[in-house]
Amino acid sequence: MNMKKIIFDNGFRVILNPLPYLRSCSMGIWIGSGSRFETAETSGLSHFIEHMLFKGTDTLSARDIAEITDETGGSLNAYTTKEYTCIYARSLTRHIEKLFSVIGEMITEPLLKESDIELEKGVVTEELLSYEDSSEDLCIDTFYENFWKSDMLGRNIVGKRENILSFDEKMMREHMKKFYVPERMVCVFSGNFNEDDVLKLCEKYFGKLLNTNNPITAGAAQPHRFVKCVGKRFEQNIVTLGFPGIASSDKRLHACNYACAVLGGTGSSRLFQRIREELGLVYSIDAFNTAYLHSGAVCIMMGLSHTNEERAICEVLRLMREFPDTLTKAEFERIKEQTEAAAVMSLESPGTAAARLARGELLSFEAVTDDEYLNRLSSVTFEEFSDMAHTLFDTKDISLCVTGKVKTQKFYRELLAR
C-alpha cells in the first residue's frame, strides 16, 4: 500500500501512510504557526497557544482531555518550533476516532479562558527559566539570536518574559484566525487505519474552515558575523562556533549533513576522536546543520572547562581548515552507510515517518515516500560531499558564542583571528 495525499477544497492537506501490519496509528496536525512568523510584540505566542490548547474546549475540560487520552491507552502531546506547531497522538486502531476527535476540538474550539491564560503564564515563565538555566539551551538560543539578529528566525521560541505576561485571549484568537487556517495545515495518519473513516474525521473538523489565502512564505534570513559572551555560573562552559549553512529545501542538504557528520557528528568523527578521545579537552562535541526555509546554520558545539577553551577552539579551527582537502572515500562511505541505516530504522517508527512526511508537505509541498527519501540519501556522491565541505567550512566567516565562565570578547576575537 502506498502513501497518498488528499487536498480538500479549502486547501487542507491529508497524508495517508498505511502500515497495515501495525495495530496502532500515529496521527497529528502540523500547523504553520511558529516563532519565525511572529512579530517582536507577539514573540512566543505560538508556543503559548500550544499550551492553551490543552486547557479545554467548548465541550471538553482539561481533565476530560487527559482522561480520554488515558482511557484509550494512547498518548497525546504537542510542540512548537520556529516554523510550525504540531499536535500529535498515537492510539490503538480502534481508538483513532476518539483520540483524533480530541485533537480536532482542541484546534478548532479552544476555550482560551482568561483565568487559564493567567495560570499558564506562570508555567511558561518557569519553562523559560529552565532554558536559561541550561548552558546548552542558552548558548544555542543566544547564537541564533545574534546570527539572525535582523530576522524573527533568530528569536527564542518561548519568547521573552514581558511578552508572555502580556498575552490575552484577544491576541490568541487573532493569531489563530491568521495562522490556524487550512492552507497552513497538514494532517498525517501513519499506521493501521481505515481510509474512509479518517477522511470523514478530517472533513468533520477541518473541511469547513475558510481558506484565507495565507500560505507559508519566508524570505532568506541574513546571517551576521559576531562574537558573544554570556557570563553565568555554570560548572561547564558551552562554546558554539557557526557560519552560514544549507536551507531545508536545498538539494545539497544531504551532502551537507554528511559533511557535518564526518567532521563532528559521530563517535568516529574527526572532532570527537581528536578533541575528546586524543586530547581529553571536552565532554561533548558535535557538528550539525540547522535547516529552515531559505536559511541554515552550521554549528559546532562543545561542552568543556573554561581552562580548556583556548586549546580546544584552536584545535577545532585547525581541523576545520584542513578538513575539506583531506576527506577520504572511506569516511564518506562509512557515514553514508550509517546515515542510511539510521534513516531506515527511524522510519520503522510510524510517528517518525509521520513527522517527516508532514514537514516536507507543510514547508515544501513535497511529502516524498520512504523509498524516495532513502534513494536521495544513497544518491549523494563523493564529489558532491567534497564540494559541500569546501563550500561550508570557511573559518574566515565564523561566529562564536560562549556561555559560562567567559573571558572577554577581545580574547575570543583574537583567538578566531589567529
Active site residues: 50
**Number of CB atoms found within 10 A of residue 70's CB:** 11
Instruction: Output the CA torsion sign for 143, 148, 150, 156.
Output: negative
Instruction: Output the CA torsion sign for 384, 260, 269, 412.
Output: positive
DSSP 8-state code for residue 99: H
> 329-347 and 350-364 are packed helices; what angle lies between their axes, rounded to 10 degrees?
110
Element (H, E) at 79: strand 75-80
Measuring CA to CA, which residue among 336, 138, 331 is closest to residue 254? Answer: 336
Distance (Å, whole) CA 53 – CA 109: 9
**Number of CB atoms found within 10 A of residue 32's CB:** 24
Cell of 25: 496509528
Cell of 366: 513535497
Cell of 205: 473538523
Sequence letter at residue 350: P
Cα angle value 116/121/126 (rounded, 5°): 130
Q: What is the residue-wise DSSP string for 243-270?
A: EE---TT-TTHHHHHHHHHHHHTSTTSH
48-66 core/surface letters (b: 16 or more CB in 10 A; e: else): bbbbbbbbbbeebeeeebe
